[in-house]
Amino acid sequence: MKLLNYKEQGNGDPLILIHGLFGNLDNLGLLARQFENDYRVISVDLRNHGHSFQSDEHNYHALAADVIQLLEHLSISSAHLIGHSMGGKVAMAIADIKPSLLASLVVLDMAPIAYPERKHDAVFSGLQQLIESPPASRKEADTILARSIVEPGVRQFLSKSLYKNGEHLALRFNVSALFDNYSHIIGWDKITPFGGNVLFVKGQNSDYIIADYQQDIIAQFPNAKAHVVNGTGHWLHAEKPDTIYRVINRFIEKVALR
């Protein structure tokens, strides 16, 4: 049995944090530290990311099954799930496969749809150049990535998954598996309607959730609530962590009172 790598902190009702594409369990670390005062926080590395196992298979059914297996291993039968981006889709897939597991669901800047456009081709190009010419330093890595990736913030985010491998730096996530399965990552198979407590949190400046997707959201999550965080993009939890914490905590507290 292959279990996901995870980090556990705090005590209380279980709260699961699931990162997005090219990330790892540290990406939601600010939220983890805030929630650990009141919850048993479990942050996971998804397959092909961080210190978790690598696999040629990378689709939402498999990713969700990995998380369910870990929670069963930890004897957790009910939890609050929070997922960002790809991790949001993983959490939504869990709601389909094992709805009884979710005390609540919070999806950060992701919709339950198949996205029509490829948003990460420049990223994959930069990562492939890192693989072909392994850098000796983070500065060199940034120079290589900058050939394809204009945004310094994106390069900085990707560099968090670099580690020392002999005399060079290497990437912890499985670039080839993610590239080969990219159609699954941006894709989505509509789920049976989940009637539980769901909150979609959108970054105001992000196009991952737009008005056109509202019908798909309500069809699959008929009781969903929405909250827009002003002045943020797709990485809203990193841009305004205190605001995101308050929004999520208020939602979970209301759920507990029902």
In a domain, 44, yes or no: yes
Name which of 36, 116, 107, 115 is nearest 94 in CA terms.
Answer: 107
Average pLDDT value for residue range 31-43 = 97
Q: Decide if 85 is catalytic.
A: yes
Average pLDDT value for residue range 161-185 = 96
Q: Which tokens belong to 163?
A: 């580690």
In a domain, 211, yes or no: yes
Please check whether residues 40 and 165 belong to one and the same domain.
no
Please check whether residues 161 and 196 belong to one and the same domain.
no
Please check whether residues 111 and 219 belong to one and the same domain.
yes
Parallel/antiparallel/unpaired status of strands 102-108 and 198-203:
parallel
- Residue 1: pLDDT above 80? no
Given the residues 85, 104, 161, 206, the one annotated as active site? 85
Instruction: With beta carbons less than 8 A apart as the criterion, state whether 222 and 191 touch.
Output: no
| pLDDT band of 258, cuts 50, 70, 90 | low
Residue 171: give the domain boundaries. Answer: 121-180
How far apart, in whole angstroms, are the C-alpha atoms of residue 257 and residue 159?
A: 41
Which pLDDT does position 256 carry in this prediction? Answer: 76
Which pLDDT does position 255 carry in this prediction? Answer: 87
Please check whether residues 150 and 88 belong to one and the same domain.
no
In a domain, 27, yes or no: yes
Which residues, in sequence order, are CB contacts of 123 under 8 Å at separation 6+?
Answer: 22, 148, 149, 154, 158
Please check whether residues 194 and 86 belong to one and the same domain.
yes
Domain count, the chain: 2
CA distances from 124 to 40, 177, 186 (A): 35, 11, 14
Given the residues 84, 184, 234, 237, the one annotated as active site? 234
Please check whether residues 18 and 102 belong to one and the same domain.
yes
Instruction: With beta carbons less than 8 A apart as the criterion, state whether 204 and 234 touch.
Output: no
In a domain, 92, yes or no: yes
- Residue 94: pLDDT above 80? yes
Average pLDDT value for residue range 43-63 = 98
Residue 3, helix vs strand vs coil = coil
Please check whether residues 212 and 173 belong to one and the same domain.
no
In a domain, 1, yes or no: no
CA distances from 40 to 33, 35, 175 (A): 11, 8, 31
219: CATH: 3.40.50.1820
Q: What is the pLDDT of residues 130-163, one digit of tens each?
A: 999 999 999 999 999 999 999 999 999 999 999 9
Instruction: With beta carbons less than 8 A apart as the criterion, state whether 184 and 191 touch.
Output: no
Please check whether residues 46 and 160 belong to one and the same domain.
no
In a domain, 214, yes or no: yes
Q: Decide if 168 is catalytic.
A: no
